[in-house]
Amino acid sequence: MTKAQHFEWLLSLADDALILGQRLSEWCGHAPALEEDIALSNVALDLIGQSRAILTHAGLLEGEGRDEDRLAFFRSDREYRNLLLVELPNGHFGDTIARQFFFDQFAMIRYGHLAQQTFDLEIAAIATKALKEVRYHAAHSAEWMIRLGDGTDLSKTRIQESVDRLWPYIGECFEAHPILDAAITSGAMPDCKSIELTWKERVSAVLAEATLILPTDDWKQVGGRNGLHTEHLSYLLAEMQAVPRLHPDAKW
Amino acid sequence: MDLNQRFEDYIAADQKIEAKDWMPDDYRKTLIRQISQHAHSEIIGMLPEGNWITRAPSLQRKAILLAKVQDEAGHGLYLYSAAETLGAQRDDLMDALIEGRAKYSSIFNYPTLTWADMGAIGWLVDGAAIMNQVPLCKCSYGPYARAMVRVCKEESFHQRQGFQIMLNLCEGTDEQREMAQDSLNRWWWPSLMMFGPNDESSTHNEQSMRWKIKRFSNDELRQRFVDMTIPQVELLGLTVPDKDLKWNQSTGHYEMGAIDWQEFFNVIAGNGPCNKERIAARKKAHRDGQWVRQAASAYAEKMRTKVTPNQTNAA
């Protein structure tokens, strides 16, 4: 993997965490119960923390003096490399939980591999810490999938709709991409198919317990890894980046 | 000796009242009112600061602010729990809040207009809250006093991060310094109002002082806050929007100008800049979340009825 590919690959890891953390932080103060204000903020904090560590590492690798904030606040949407899934609006609590559940299961498998690989030891260390956090996130989101799926008729209908709505964005998690191929060749990542199989197995088990149906449609909405995003990302970034861009020389 | 006399003697001897102890109805009511108002203030207080989480100017600041607002949710949670030890129910208290029957700290009815407001709120609003709250760690009701020990530890952390934001702004660009001064101008008087009306016009003072629910008067605490804060304002190189403020050598205290109590009473009466938005936001969160809470209860009930036969067998 070339240095440029390595850098791009790190951005894809960091951006997944940062954008989802930013989305989750929108819930703070507006969740269905105080316990969920706390829980969703906690998950957001972990994700933002993971993104900071990875962005710092990416900036050092690139060697052009860009720190975490430079990379977070001064890249345009076309330079962001996150999955489309994580930039989708929060919707209702069920939409947020379903998005989180799908992502947590993916992140847990991915960090599991990253913690073991020896291609990039810094990422291995970050992944080891992140894995502990993501296990809690995955337990939280899976428990809610089950509560909502097996709760009331209304909650079952709503969460099934959330699953169906998000489904087209799942394929991108396992989609081949030149940067990802380079990471796989270097031994930094396992092949996509094996991640997908493990993911499907775990997700199916939780959905079965939640009395929900796993969609079978295999249409994939992709583009995030190439910087081709949904209409939602540029709004998210405009909000997130407004203050530092208005005061580009300021320290905070 | 009658129960009431024994209760008064117990408090006079600085003993803690616990949840199951006998207490006069008025003591219970006063505490439920005060603790729930405090809890409401924590969760309404999440809104003006939550307003800037998505726009924090650095990732570190974003993480700190998010953790701070999360702490406030935690404070709300243990305060509602403390109120529950007195027989109140969280759902009823929440209903009273969103139906406009309960009070909360009126400071949160002011808008947060710039990033500097995250500094001013942490520094001044949390600073004033600490002045009010530290004495509560010694209040006569045990569960409240113990909750306040933890709340105060976290609040003092919040205050320091607020001051740090102000310090960074004041050491920064011209625009950042202007932002800091503008924010101090807007938050100074509302912060002084947080201590409540002057002693001669405060309604709950005397009884609460005797019961050791309150330990210092509004004016004493306000004075202490001003004496502590003015040197910090000077350190930042800012000025407070009070042309009458001056140091009194003979008393060893700052003298402050007159507070506009009309503004205070207007905001309390529901006519502050954001009263309606704050309540509307809480109402929306509560209503939008109803199906989720119902699902959680329904699921818990299913699990409970599933588990019961096994437990019976095991017994």
Q: Assess contact for A95 and A84: CB atoms under 8 A.
A: no
Q: Is residue A251 in some structural domain? A: no
- Looking at the domain assignment, is residue A252 inside a domain? no
**Interchain pair B298, A152: CB under 8 A:** yes
- The reply to whether A146 touches chain B by the CB within 8 Å rule is yes
Say how far residue B205 (Cα) sits from the centre of its chain. Answer: 18
Q: Please check whether residue A172 lies inside any domain of the structure.
A: yes
A183 lies in a domain?
yes
Let me know if residue A240 belongs to a domain.
yes
pLDDT score recorded for residue B215 = 81
Host domain of residue A36: 3-246
User: Which residue type does A120 have?
Assistant: D
d(CA B160, nearest CA chain A) in Å: 15
The number of distinct structural domains making up chain A is: 1
Taking phi over 0 as left and psi of -120 to 50 as alpha, with beta for the rest, B33 belongs to alpha
What are the tokens at B28? 């219970």
Report the pLDDT value the prediction gives residue B308, as an integer from 0 to 100. 61
CATH number of the domain enclosing A17: 1.20.1260.10
Structure tokens at B200: 């001669």
pLDDT score recorded for residue B139: 92
Which pLDDT does position A187 carry in this prediction? 94
Task: Enumerate residues 74 to 113 of chain B having a beta carbon within 8 A of any beta carbon in chain A.
Answer: 74, 76-77, 80
CB B112 within 8 A of CB B51: yes
- The number of C-beta contacts closer than 8 angstroms across A and B is 142
List pLDDT tens digits, range A40-53.
Answer: 999 999 999 999 99
**Contact (CB<8Å) A31/B296:** no
Q: Are A173 and A83 in contact (CB under 8 A)?
A: yes
Distance of CA B281 to the CA centre of its chain: 18
Point out which residues pair with B248 in neighbouring strands: B253
Answer yes or no: is A35 within a domain.
Answer: yes
**Contact by Cβ (8 Å): B299, A151:** yes
Selected residue of A71, A140, A243 to mutate for chain B interface (largest B Cβ count, 10 A): A243
On whether residue A163 sits in a domain, the answer given is: yes
Query: How far is the C-alpha of B241 from the C-alpha of B234, rounded, in Å?
Result: 13
Per-residue pLDDT of chain B (315 residues; tens, 9 = 90+): 689 999 999 999 989 999 999 999 999 999 999 999 999 999 999 999 999 999 999 999 999 999 999 999 999 999 999 999 999 999 999 999 999 999 999 999 999 999 999 999 999 999 999 999 999 999 999 999 999 999 999 999 999 999 999 999 999 999 999 999 999 999 999 999 999 999 887 766 678 888 887 888 999 999 999 999 999 999 999 999 999 999 999 999 999 999 999 999 999 999 999 999 999 999 999 999 999 999 999 999 999 998 765 555 544
Distances (CA, A) of B283 to A92, B36, B287: 15, 17, 6
CA-CA distance, A241 to A182, in Å (whole number)?
31
Chain B residues closer than 8 Å to A44 by CB: 66
CB B124 within 8 A of CB B61: no
Q: What percent of chain A is helix, strand and coil (3-state, nearest 5)?
A: 75, 0, 25
Residue A212 in domain: yes
Stretches where chain A sits below pLDDT 50 are: none
pLDDT for B315 equals: 44
Lookup: tokens for B180: 């800091």
